[in-house]
Amino acid sequence: MSAAGPSLEVDIGALHLKNPVLAASGTAGFGREYAHFAPLFGAIVAKSVTLGPRAGNPPPRLVETACGLLNSIGLENPGVEAFLRDELPAARGLGVPIVASIAGETAAEYGELARTVSRADGVAAIEVNISCPNVARGGMLFGVDPAQAAAAVGAARAATRLPLIAKLTPNVTDVCAVARAVVDAGADAVALINTVAGMAIDAERRRPVLGGVFGGLSGPAIKPIALRMVWLVAEAIDRPVIGMGGICDARDAVEFILAGAAAVGVGTATFVDPGAAARVVDGIRAYLVEAGARSLRDIIGAARRWRDAARA
Ligand code: RRO
């Protein structure tokens, strides 16, 4: 521990983070919207972009559920060229690494997106989003099948030297099979979980609430699902895991880190409190001080060692 307290630094492949708290994709726009809080993050993961602009799904696109939020945004974004031209220059000035997030309809599109994004100045890493639940083509269809997931990540890998983070869906039987497949295809890290497929029905109007009928559930309701999957995947692969799903405070984040996550994403909590991630960073530091840990690295996966500790 230095005089400044325990180190929160962590490396996700070649991506160096000053702290392990990332703004989850889709919840901080392209960073500019979040300028006031941005410097506090380890990194900002931008909203996923596609080759061309997308208008997204019909409204309503958001509905609150018990302890959660269902979204059916439908990958609304201005397209990769507009992201690089109109958004990245401002985001770059925020003083925090910007992770671009890409979503293709074919494996070849993932390659093209990765190539295009890598040519720009100021992208620190690429999230390969193979887990959007709200589109008819691409998205989660890649992430539910290990071979398709590997094809998308492999195409991106062939097109860039930037660190690649594969974003996984929980809507699968065997998340570890997908995690292993994307690592074999060249992912430097995995992030999980994306949202859990769900829906809401309006009993008075006798129809689905969301314009897109189905949506993706986020928020505290999904935290136990996410924790289990992070635990499983951290054991299955020898790459860093970025854990997310319902993290609202530092205690939640620490639980993910103890389960094996090297970093965490904060997303939906930001809609309740834009300062949520800053609170999480401070709280992780306080936890480390309390635990007498010198560094975040000392506690990554610590709960995995509970059997050994019980025996000792
Ligand atoms: O835009 C969306 O509807 C969306 C995306 Br790309 C995603 O990855 N996860 C999600 O819940 N919504």
Report yes or no on 5 lying in a domain: no
State residue 163's pLDDT score: 98
Q: How far apart (Å, rounded) are the C-alpha atoms in residues 40 and 248?
A: 16
Report yes or no on 64 lying in a domain: no
Helix axes 175-184, 146-159, angle to 10 degrees: 30
For residue 77, the ligand 1 atom closest to its alpha carbon is: 1
Report yes or no on 87 lying in a domain: yes
Report yes or no on 206 lying in a domain: no
pTM of the model: 0.97
Report yes or no on 4 lying in a domain: no
Encode pLDDT of 116-172 as tens digits.
Answer: 999 999 999 999 999 999 999 988 999 999 999 999 999 999 999 999 999 999 999
* % of the chain beyond a pLDDT of 70: 99
Active site residues: 132
Report yes or no on 292 lying in a domain: yes
Ligand 1 pocket, residues with Cβ under 6 angstroms: 26, 48, 71-75, 103, 129, 131-134, 194-195, 216
Instruction: Over range 26-46, report the average pLDDT.
Output: 91
Mean pLDDT score of the chain: 96
Q: Provide the CATH number for the domain around residue 86.
A: 3.20.20.70
State residue 157's pLDDT score: 98
Count structural domains, the chain: 1
Q: How far apart (Å, rounded) are the C-alpha atoms in residues 214 and 198?
A: 6
Q: What CA–CA distances, in Å, run from 117 to 51, 93, 121, 132, 189?
A: 10, 17, 9, 19, 18
What pLDDT band is residue 68 in, cutting at 50, 70 and 90? very high
Instruction: Over range 18-40, report the average pLDDT.
Output: 92
What pLDDT band is residue 306 in, cutting at 50, 70 and 90? confident
Encode pLDDT of 216-231 as tens digits.
Answer: 999 999 999 999 999 9
Residue predicted with more confidence, 242 or 3: 242
Residue 310 has pLDDT above 80, yes or no: no
What pLDDT band is residue 3 in, cutting at 50, 70 and 90? low
Report yes or no on 211 lying in a domain: no
- Pair 256, 247: CB distance under 8 Å: yes
Q: Which of 288, 197, 178 is nearest to 241 (CA)?
A: 178
Report yes or no on 80 lying in a domain: yes
| SS3 annotation, the chain | CECCECECCEEECCEEECCCEEECCCCCCCCHHHCCCHHHCCEEEEEEECCCCECCCCCCCEEEECCEEEECCCCCECCHHHHHHHHHHHHHCCCCCEEEEECCCCHHHHHHHHHHHHHCCCCCEEEEECCCCCCCCCCHHHHCCHHHHHHHHHHHHHHCCCCEEEECCCCCCCHHHHHHHHHHCCCCEEEECCCEEEECEECCCCEECCCCCEEEEECHHHHHHHHHHHHHHHHHCCCCEEEECCCCCHHHHHHHHHHCCCEEEECCHHHHCCCHHHHHHHHHHHHHHHHCCCEHHHHCCHHHHHHHHHHC
Q: Give, using CA atoms, the residue closest to atom 7 of ligand 1.
A: 132
Q: Give, using CA atoms, the residue closest to atom 10 of ligand 1.
A: 132
State residue 1's pLDDT score: 55
For residue 129, the ligand 1 atom closest to its alpha carbon is: 8
Cα(183) to centroid(ligand 1), Å: 22
For residue 103, the ligand 1 atom closest to its alpha carbon is: 6
Domain of 150 in residue numbering reads as 10-56+73-200+217-311
State residue 34's pLDDT score: 83
State residue 35's pLDDT score: 87
State residue 107's pLDDT score: 97
